[in-house]
Amino acid sequence: MDLNIYKNKHSKEFDGTIELNKVFSLIKTKASDLPKADRLGVVYASKSKKGRKHEDIVSYNGMVFIDVDECKEPKKVKELFIEIDCTIATWYSTSGNVHALIKIPVCKTKDEFKRRYELLTSDLRDEIGDWGKLDSITINPTQLAFISHDTELFVNEVPTTYEGIYLPNKPKQNRTISFDFYNDASTKWCISKAQDWFNDILDNGYPQVLRYAITLGGWSAAGYIESNNALDVLLALIKHNNYLNSTQSSGSLETYLKAATSSFNEGLKHPLHWH
């Protein structure tokens, strides 16, 4: 299996690929006293052709990276992972804590990955108890893990698959917001389309918000809807969208509003005509 590699913790564009077995070989044989910021980084959970943005993910690798921090009993934590049939590998981190890879089904979406991750880590917390603390940052499928050194790296050549997954939450219906006070036919049509767009945002909201904001800006530049009205509608729809306001969202509400305004203004520079 090939994994994306990055030069260091600040890298955004991947530096190439590396085989999982090669990563294991480096962990077992290459001791390093390099600062964490300068060490090679690996993304275990997903693949990308561009970088570490969620929208750049092209596939998932069928495993979860687990990082156990604040280990009071690192040896016991490592032994626990060795006993778990679905462990692919486990090793000590440079700081003396414990890392592990757990085999899961190859996910099709970020939502599926997160639901599998959340149930898995819930089970692991029960097993680990007060021996250590799971770092929840690894719910990010593009999270970097830095190659550390452990001559006694454990590798399971025939791991089973952890099949557990939380059922998806039934999407809440977006709150109804009325724009009946706009009477112009082309304005009403633009607003109707925008409402349809935002009603369909249930995940991965950031790129969709940017795209819709640019489109509304372009329609405003072409004279189909007054710019002040279009921007008011755009911001109201963001504020009333359940996903964009949820903890599952990939950004904060303030980020969406700021980015939407910027993209809308960019759209005003490029009139977008209906065909």
pLDDT along the chain (275 residues), means of 10: 84 85 90 69 92 88 96 96 98 93 96 93 94 93 91 96 85 70 90 90 83 95 94 93 78 87 95 87
Q: Rounded CA gap, 117 and 166, in Å?
A: 9
R_g of the chain, CA atoms, integer Å: 23
**Residues in the chain, how many?**
275
Q: Rounded CA gap, 44 and 59, in Å?
A: 11
**Residue spans per domain, the chain:** 2-155, 185-267
pLDDT for position 253? 83
Q: What is the CATH number of domain 2-155?
A: 3.90.920
pLDDT for position 3? 94
**Buried residues in 8-28 as b, exposed as e (16+ CB within 10 A):** beeeeebeeebebeebbebbe
pLDDT for position 170? 60
What angle do the packed helices 185-199 and 205-221 form, to 10 degrees? Answer: 170
- pTM metric for this prediction: 0.64
pLDDT for position 171? 56
The residue type at 39: R
